[in-house]
Chains A and B, each alone.
Chain A
Amino acid sequence: MKLLKAVYDGLSSLWLSCTLLMFLALLTWLGTLDQVHNGLFEVQRRYFESWFLIERIGQIAIPLPGATLVLAVLTINLTLGGLVRIRKGSATAGIIVAHVGILMLVFAGYVKMNHSEDGHLTLFEGQESNTFESYHFWEVALFERIDDARVREIVVPQADFAANTSGAPVALRSAELPFEFELKHFTPNSRVLPKGPMFTPKLPVADGYFLEALQLEKENEHNIAGVYAAVTPKDGGQRSESILWGASRQPWTVEVGGKTFGIELRRQEFALPFVVRLDDFVKEDHPRIDMPKVFSSDITVDEAASSRQVKISMNEPLRQDGLVLYQSGWGPQNARPGDPLFSTLAVVRNPADQYPLYACIVIAVGLVLHFGRKLKKHISSQGAQAS
């Protein structure tokens, strides 16, 4: 019982709050400076999505808790110390309200991290789409044309094959497929090169080509993944191998049992519950200078029963069916007047989309309540002293 009490006291202590807040500040500072050298994606992974990390200062290695661990313990500390253990009364009402607001914020972050999808939808004027694609994740799609209008597709998400970067193949079996399918040697950033006579590549050669692993780009969306694929017909036909590369223009095609299958590595795709058509994209500069004043996309949203026109511009996204569409980019950057333009809309599905705003209101109310009360008390005591 004493041990439990000691653990409870420790976890709810102000000492722990201060220590955790200092660790979070240290990680934030290190993660900010490191972005100059390693880019945001790598920094996020190293400092803010980790449980532990080793920070090196010259030759000295310093073990540090990662932000995930710090935030997890801080949440417990905040709950126990800031809501449960804290004395309840008018003097602490503001603090409690502010702590509730912070927990709402943490909860919003948790929901976003675990239950959100994000990507982009890029359309030229006049084009339409009912899917959007991920910035960061890949998938292997195996598809077979059924008739002119229909395509049957089996999708293998990155998580199923990306962890295995070694030569050991990851086998994927499906009763719907007349072949065994294997993936191996996933490389998150790579290029395809022809095998020359004077060297031996590190990765296998398929059809005279091999994948060369490249250093990861600072911006993750600039990485082009690659993976080796093999198809072995279930009826005992000949095994065939090829390289699937993220920037290939054509899928790899295989014929098995008289059917033709297309196989490609592509950015992960998500379905939209409506069709988006880009009617017009407007980019307007301030007069006589090369500084953008307005970006906006006039789109038509087609649903089963209705169709409506919407303008999406900077700071004015479209919120519909749990999705939010933002004006994110445009191109081609070297387009001349009259050239067709494309617009890139960032698409996010985040169930906690508006929680931070509510949390902000709650925290503000709590802080104003607490410090307002203190200020009032101070002014009263000053008045009393003066009189």
Chain B
Amino acid sequence: MNTLAKLILALAVSLCGARISAAQHSADDGHGHGHPEHTMPTRSAPYSERVLELAAALPVQDGGRVKPLSTFADFTLLRFNGKRSLKLDDGTKLDATTWLLDVLFYPQQAEAYRCFQVNDVHAIEALGISTAGKKKRDRYSFHELEPGISKLFELARQYRAKEERLRSSVEQQIFTLASNVDDYFALKSHFDFARAAFDVGQSPELVATLGGETASFSTILAKLPRLIELQSAWRVDPARAEDSRELVRLVQSAADYSSVTSSLALMPALVTEPANANWHTPSDVLSSTFETEEPMREHLETLAAFETLAMSIGDPARFESALAALHGRTVATAIQRGEYAKVPLEISYYKAQLLTYSLAIFLLGFVLTGLLWIAPRLKLLYAASSLAVVVSTGLLVTAIVMRCMIRGRPPVSTLYETLLFVAAVTTLVLLVVEWINRQRLALSVAAAFGTIMLFLANGYETLDKRDTMPQLVAVLDTNFWLATHVTAITSGYAAGLGATAIASVYLVCRLFGATRRKPELARLLTRMTYGVLCFALIFSVVGTILGGVWANDSWGRFWGWDPKENGALLICLAQLVILHGRMGGYLREFGLAAATAFQGTIIAFSWFHVNLLGVGLHSYGFTSGIHTSLWTYYTGQWGLIAFACGHYWLERERSKAVAQALTEQRVTSVSSDVGAT
């Protein structure tokens, strides 16, 4: 009998949980919100430092790992807004954690924040929303989008059926916006369950069981076994049919409120279940309580802590102490489960902004090395430039090391990390070259290269909008091969691009006649290109073969002509052609530079372009949106090579003409001498 009652209640719960999404549900209802709205307090003062610290350090399980809430907030806001911070209409700047706290605890206030970036105003017009006064690329608040939400989800459902590559830019914008609005809605409704006072109804037994005419979510959960008992008795008693309906409505209502909580798993699994790696949401706890009919005390206490926190908004002191209590509980459990150790380090990593400072100092180094070419004898300037490049490289290396410590992995496991690693290795190699030559050249290239690569890394992160320390698929989850093959091949990319950068400098110098005026500069650049290319070949060849050895261990074949494998082979072949061509005398100074500059585009093809093909076993790297950047690079690099070749040809023709004129002049003067004799 109990089982049947449980089934009826469970069905009520599952009906709520089965919705496609909360926002779509509310849009389909024709409301802007899933739950009844009351006028809620607005935040009149900034959060205290302590509140922000506690919130930032609150652990959450997201993307398959436990991370600080600040990281979750950063990447969520980056996805919505295209930036990790938000500027309000009154000029106030909110960091991501503050924004998230507002969305969670002051949802009505946050609805006015323009946090949805839309790159094409036509996407908004397609929703039937007025765009008067808006720029082509602008930001919108939830309030502004609300009238078009039904249309937004209707269109998104249509576009879902299309492959991403077949969607137009506006269609893709609409699809992405729908996904963001959906996620936003889940966040703004997350604590509705904790804010709600559920109407118990008229039944005296229910009132007695739940201790009043209204009940909190945690109270309903605590009494769920008793509620199931009551339902099993009332279900078969016609006199209690109304009470039975009331009870089902109450449980359904609780399930409805908790059904939007799945995006934020803030409740650690119990210490007593170490094998369970999944953290929980209130919705999970409700479902599991149905299964076990035994509410877990720890979960009930955490839910009560959420309720206390949600009910204390408007009173900063109470809010702080409630947040501290929740933080204390969650962190203690996470520590006991061994899941908190890396959270403080991750907070420090993002707080330190090492990559931002590294980029700024690289940029400074770039300016200083530029000045160094104007005033080459200024030793202080040379020292300052060197210091800037060394410090920025040091910061970059520190950032990479911290990332390794946080994830417990070697330095490269994602495409984003290849950008950081390539920047670090190339600048380190160029610093070594500078240390050997001390001619300012390698230092200048290092500063320029570091700046460009960190700009690219920053752009990639903004474009990708996802956590840059994600979990890895099973085949990649091996520290041995990540440390050997991936590190070696990425070092090959790095050195190859370093050689390309030096060779490109040579071509530019050649175009401007600098190599003719200063032959020793040309010789130096050629030596540097050759040296760095040799270094690149070692890592490219070893990295490529190690990739084959890894493939042999994972898939049973050393070489499968997969696009990524082919890309690596292309790099090795290009470098071998250049070095053999040089050895055979087919490529001299100019040829070596032009070929090495071309080799850079082969590296770009192998590094990123093969992932765009969408075939092969390595298509797990993010790639969409980088097509334009790649073609810009190809065009620029090939253009430089073409101009340099044209210039070289003209130079040769001019030299030939001069040589011929000299010869003719000599012949004429010799014959006149003979005539005179």
Contacts and interface: CB of A to CB of B under 8 A. Distances in A.
Interface of A: 13-15, 17-18, 21-22, 24-25, 28-29, 31-33, 35-36, 40, 43-44, 48, 105, 108-109, 112, 118, 285-289, 291-295, 313-317, 324, 326, 328, 346-348, 353, 356-357, 359-360, 363-364, 367-368, 371, 374-375, 378-379, 382
Q: Which 3 A-B pairs have the closest CB atoms?
A: A286-B64, A14-B584, A360-B545
B481 A22 contact: no
B59 interface: no
Given A21-B580, A317-B554, 7 more contacts: A28-B573, A40-B616, A48-B561, A105-B545, A108-B558, A288-B265, A378-B527
Nearest to A313: B474
A40 B610 CA distance: 14
Nearest to B66: A287
20 contacts: A18-B581, A21-B573, A32-B561, A32-B610, A35-B615, A44-B561, A286-B64, A287-B61, A288-B279, A292-B473, A294-B474, A314-B475, A317-B554, A353-B552, A356-B549, A368-B538, A371-B535, A375-B531, A378-B527, A378-B531
Contacts of B542: 360, 363-364, 367
Nearest to B551: A356
A289 B277 CA distance: 11
A371 B576 contact: no
Nearest to A14: B584
B575 to A, nearest CB: 10
Contacts of B65: 286-287
Contacts of A44: 561
A328 B548 CA distance: 17
A28 B615 CA distance: 15
Given A15-B584, A21-B573, A21-B580, A326 B64 contact: no
Given A286-B471, A360-B545, A371-B538, A118 B63 contact: no
A108 B583 CA distance: 28
A17 B570 CA distance: 15
Contacts of B477: 293-294, 314
A21 B576 contact: yes
A288 B261 CA distance: 13
Contacts of A315: 475, 478, 481, 550, 553-554
Q: Is the interface of A mostly helix, strand, loop or mixed?
A: helix
A44, A316, A364 pick with most chain B CB within 10 angstroms: A364
A267 B552 CA distance: 23
A218 to B, nearest CB: 9
Given A35-B563, A288-B279, A378-B531, A367 B541 contact: yes
B468 interface: no
A314 B554 contact: yes
Given A31-B561, A315-B481, A356-B552, A291 B573 contact: no
A85 B266 CA distance: 70
B567 interface: yes
A40 B615 CA distance: 9
B513 interface: no
Nearest to B616: A35
Which of the four size classes fits the interface of chain B? 35 or more
A357 B549 contact: yes
Nearest to A95: B583
B614 A36 contact: yes
B279, B538, B548, B562 pick with most chain A CB within 10 angstroms: B538
Contacts of A35: 561, 563, 613, 615-616
Interface in B554-571: 554-563, 566-567, 569-570
Contact of B613 (A13, A32, A364, A371): A32
Q: Is the interface of B mostly helix, strand, loop or mixed?
A: helix
B577 interface: yes
Given A28-B566, A288-B61, A317 B553 contact: yes
B437 interface: yes
A22 to B, nearest CB: 6
Nearest to B481: A315
A44 to B, nearest CB: 6
B576 A356 contact: no
Contacts of A33: 613
A371 B534 contact: yes
Contact of A348 (B471, B557, B613): B557
A293, A294, A359 pick with most chain B CB within 10 angstroms: A293
Nearest to A35: B615
A17 B527 CA distance: 23
Given A286-B471, A360-B542, A382-B436, A18 B580 contact: yes
Nearest to B585: A14
Given A32-B613, A364-B538, A18 B584 contact: yes
Nearest to B575: A21
B437 A25 contact: no
Contact of A36 (B279, B556, B570, B615): B615
Nearest to B605: A29
B624 to A, nearest CB: 15
B291 to A, nearest CB: 13
Contact of A18 (B277, B478, B569, B586): B586
B574 interface: yes
Contacts of A314: 474-475, 477-478, 554
A382 B581 CA distance: 25
Contacts of A32: 561, 563, 566-567, 570, 610, 613
Contacts of B541: 363-364, 367
Contacts of A367: 537-538, 541-542
A348 B556 CA distance: 6
A118 B556 contact: yes
A10 to B, nearest CB: 13
B567, B573, B614, B616 pick with most chain A CB within 10 angstroms: B573
B570 A287 contact: no
A363 B488 CA distance: 14
Contact of B570 (A15, A29, A286, A293): A29
B545 A359 contact: yes
B534 A374 contact: yes
B561 A40 contact: yes
Given A28-B569, A315-B475, A18 B558 contact: no
B278 interface: yes
Contacts of A324: 556
A378 B613 CA distance: 42
Contacts of A316: 553
B230 to A, nearest CB: 31
B407 to A, nearest CB: 13
B278 A17 contact: no
A354 to B, nearest CB: 8
B271 interface: no
A289 B573 contact: no
Contacts of B277: 287
B7 interface: no
Interface string B528-546: 0001001101100110011
A94 to B, nearest CB: 10
Contacts of B561: 31-32, 35, 40, 43-44, 48
B247 to A, nearest CB: 30
Nearest to A29: B570
B672 to A, nearest CB: 45
B163 to A, nearest CB: 14
B573 A287 contact: no
Contacts of B560: 40
A22 B581 CA distance: 11
Given A109-B559, A367-B537, A291 B552 contact: no
Nearest to B535: A371
Nearest to B281: A288
B475 A360 contact: no
Contacts of B279: 287-288
Given A22-B577, A289-B63, A328 B545 contact: no
B545 A346 contact: no
Interface string B271-282: 000000111000
A293 B474 contact: yes
